[in-house]
Amino acid sequence: MGRSRTASRHWENDRAVSELVLQRSRVSAARRARERRLDQAAAAVADALRHVPLTDAEARAAADAVVRNLGPDDG
């Protein structure tokens, strides 16, 4: 009996570790996706700013608004 309990605990521990690894992978993927969206947004803002004369403060405010609209970080 002691042996099957130990085996069960090992199995549960292995399963918990697997779940943590999977969760970390999902978080990493979400973080990479958010970084890609930030890069795309930064490129779009930079392109738009080439055509519209803004002060530095206005340009920073526009960039901040874009980042806020991207949504929360899943990490």
Domain range list for the chain: 2-69
* pLDDT for res 29: 92
Please check the confidence at residue 74 and state whether its pLDDT lies above 50: no
Query: How does pLDDT run across 37-62, given as a tens digit for each residue?
Result: 888 888 887 887 788 888 889 888 88
Angstrom distance (rounded) from CA 23 to CA 69? 25
Query: How does pLDDT run across 11-36, given as a tens digit for each residue?
Result: 888 898 899 889 999 999 999 998 99
CA-only gyration radius of the chain, Å: 23
Find how far residue 61's CA is from the centre of its chain: 22
* pLDDT for res 73: 57
